[in-house]
């Protein structure tokens, strides 16, 4: 029987042909620092170290990454920030203990609460109904949640948020630390913050105890590669590392590990101007095609009318009150609440 060859690869090739300008993740946009993937796709042979008990080359690379990010210890992740979040929460809270959780967190947080039978103390961020997204969590909201739930062990916070808003992490970390609580920061969208003083402070410099970054999102490592950082001694590092080992693949991918190191190494080389020129070229080529220009014009018209409609509080001309605009953040928070409800039912 004739079998179709390499379905995923050939379909992706077609997709790539039609999708020459990638405005989506991963951050390398298909133009990463190329290396021969198969040459480096090996396993834990002598000399290649072992991610689950790093003592050789992986340990050395992790030490270098910790130095770059000014953390005490860094762990390369091969199953995404998702496993980093699972491990950080499961390793810091015992069943029945409380954790402060903003409702606009990633679903990995809700998964960890369910897996660990941990009680989430939910903080709802203020929603900007005009702009249609949640603001970041304020210091006042953290103080209030702690006053009502003094037994909470600590907090997890997403910073920057999906919408690029930020919290005053330094003050929030200080409030939590004053009361002996820890701060875990999901910095999935912020692995670049350390590299410019024109950007908001990164979570490690703000004093967070555990920080997890999706280096694949902005820095351009391969999808599923991430970093977890430890700082100080408020969390049980050994326990979190034991969860990392339990939850990650027992065949960690060397290409993924290499790509984290390469992406971080490449940041200082990506000087702003050449980098922007490299980013700008595909955009210019994309925009200069006549067909795309006319499409862009239509798109701009649609976006303009949406913005105007959003500003007037409705979605669609003459929308009825039931069809009122539901901002993305409300949808994702509703999804989170549903996940959490389902997990509670399973228990
Ligand atoms: C805020 C946030 N946290 C965590 C994750 C999970 O990251 P990863 O895809 O690296 O597992 C995502 C992914 O979209 C995210 O947006």
Sketch the domain layout of the chain as residue ranges. 37-268
Higher-confidence position of 335 and 162: 162
With the most atoms of ligand 1 within 8 angstroms of its CB, the residue from 188, 189, 213, 223 to mutate is 188
With the most atoms of ligand 1 within 8 angstroms of its CB, the residue from 82, 227, 256 to mutate is 82
Q: Does residue 104 have a pLDDT over 70?
A: yes
Q: Which atom in ligand 1 lies closest to the alpha carbon of residue 161? A: 1
Structure confidence at residue 324 as a pLDDT band (50, 70, 90) = very low
Question: Across the chain, where does the E strand assignment appear?
Answer: 73-77, 98-102, 119-123, 127-128, 133-134, 154-158, 182-186, 210-213, 226-230
Q: Which residues pair with 230 in a beta bridge?
A: 73, 210
Helix (H) or strand (E) holding 160: none
Compute the mean pLDDT over every residue in the chain, rounded to the nearest whole number: 83
Q: Which atom in ligand 1 lies closest to the alpha carbon of residue 82? A: 11
Measured over the CA atoms of residue 335, residue 84, residue 214 and residue 71, the dihedral's sign is positive
Nearest to 114 by CA among 343, 342, 346, 345: 343
**What is the predicted pLDDT for the residue at 202?**
98
How many C-beta atoms lie closer than 10 Å to residue 344's C-beta? 11
Q: Does residue 243 have a pLDDT over 60?
A: yes
Q: Does residue 292 have a pLDDT over 70?
A: no
Q: Which atom in ligand 1 lies closest to the alpha carbon of residue 158? A: 1
Structure confidence at residue 326 as a pLDDT band (50, 70, 90) = very low
DSSP for 261-330? HHHHHHGGGS-HHHHHHHHHHHHHHHHHSHHHHHHHHHHHHHHHHHHHHHHTT-SSTT--GGG----HHH
For residues 238 and 171, give the distance between their C-alpha atoms in angstroms, rounded to a whole number.
27
Ligand 1 surroundings by CB, under 6 angstroms: 80-82, 106, 108, 158, 186, 188, 214, 226
Nearest to 19 by CA among 277, 282, 298: 282
Cα–ligand 1 centroid distance for 106 (angstroms): 6
Cα–ligand 1 centroid distance for 81 (angstroms): 6
- Measured in whole angstroms, the distance separating CA 35 from the mean position of its chain's CA atoms is 25
Q: Considering only CA atoms, which residue is closest to atom 7 of ligand 1? A: 81
For residues 339 and 309, give the distance between their C-alpha atoms in angstroms, rounded to a whole number.
31
What mean pLDDT do residues 234-254 have? 97
Residue 118 and residue 154 in contact, taking contact as beta carbons nearer than 8 Å = no
Question: Which of 8-12, 125-129, 168-172, 189-193 has the least mean pLDDT?
Answer: 8-12
What mean pLDDT do residues 73-99 have? 98
For residues 334 and 336, give the distance between their C-alpha atoms in angstroms, rounded to a whole number.
5
Two tokens at 212? 């997890």
Task: Report pTM.
Answer: 0.81
CATH number among 1.20.1440.80, 3.40.640.10, 3.40.630.10, 3.40.50.300, domain 37-268: 3.40.640.10
Residue 222 and residue 79 in contact, taking contact as beta carbons nearer than 8 Å = no
Rg (CA), the chain: 22
Cα–ligand 1 centroid distance for 290 (angstroms): 36
Two tokens at 322? 């039931």
Q: Which atom in ligand 1 lies closest to the alpha carbon of residue 186? A: 3
Cα–ligand 1 centroid distance for 173 (angstroms): 22
**What is the predicted pLDDT for the residue at 341?**
59
Q: Which atom in ligand 1 lies closest to the alpha carbon of residue 79? A: 11
Cα–ligand 1 centroid distance for 321 (angstroms): 34
Higher-confidence position of 324 and 105: 105
Residue 235 and residue 91 in contact, taking contact as beta carbons nearer than 8 Å = yes
With the most atoms of ligand 1 within 8 angstroms of its CB, the residue from 83, 89, 214 to mutate is 214
Q: Which atom in ligand 1 lies closest to the alpha carbon of residue 105? A: 1
% of the chain exceeding 90 in pLDDT: 60
Nearest to 327 by CA among 185, 167, 135: 135
**What is the predicted pLDDT for the residue at 11?**
80
């Amino acid at each position: 029987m004739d079998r179709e060859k390499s379905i995923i690869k050939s379909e992706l090739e077609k997709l790539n042909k039609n999708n020459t300008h990638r405005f989506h993740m991963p951050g390398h946009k298909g133009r990463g620092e190329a290396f021969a993937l198969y040459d480096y796709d090996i396993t834990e042979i002598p000399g290649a170290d072992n991610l689950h008990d790093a003592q050789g080359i992986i340990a050395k690379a992790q030490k270098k990454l910790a130095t770059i990010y000014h953390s005490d210890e860094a762990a390369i992740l091969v199953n995404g920030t998702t496993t980093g979040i699972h491990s950080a929460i499961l390793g810091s809270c015992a069943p029945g203990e409380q954790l402060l959780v903003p409702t606009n967190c990633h679903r990995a947080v809700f998964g960890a609460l369910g897996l660990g039978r941990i009680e989430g103390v939910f903080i709802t961020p203020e929603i900007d109904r005009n702009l249609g997204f949640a603001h970041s969590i304020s210091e006042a909201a953290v103080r209030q949640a702690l006053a009502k739930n003094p037994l909470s062990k600590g907090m997890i916070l997403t910073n920057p948020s999906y919408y690029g808003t930020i919290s005053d992490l330094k003050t929030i970390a200080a409030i939590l630390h004053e009361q002996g609580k820890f701060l875990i920061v999901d910095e999935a969208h912020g692995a670049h913050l350390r590299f410019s003083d024109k950007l908001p402070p990164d979570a490690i410099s703000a004093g967070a105890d555990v920080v997890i970054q999706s280096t694949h999102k902005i820095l351009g490592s391969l999808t599923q590669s991430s970093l977890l950082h430890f700082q100080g001694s408020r969390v049980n590092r050994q326990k979190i590392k034991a969860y990392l080992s339990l939850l990650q693949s027992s065949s960690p991918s060397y290409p993924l590990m290499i790509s984290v190191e390469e992406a971080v190494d490449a940041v200082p080389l990506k000087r702003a101007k050449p980098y922007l020129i490299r980013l700008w070229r595909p955009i210019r080529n994309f925009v200069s095609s006549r067909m795309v220009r006319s499409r862009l014009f239509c798109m701009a018209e649609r976006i303009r009318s949406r913005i105007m409609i959003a500003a007037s509080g409705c979605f669609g001309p003459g929308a009825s009150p039931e069809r009122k605009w539901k901002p993305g953040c409300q949808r994702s928070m509703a999804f989170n609440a549903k996940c959490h409800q389902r997990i509670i039912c399973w228990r």
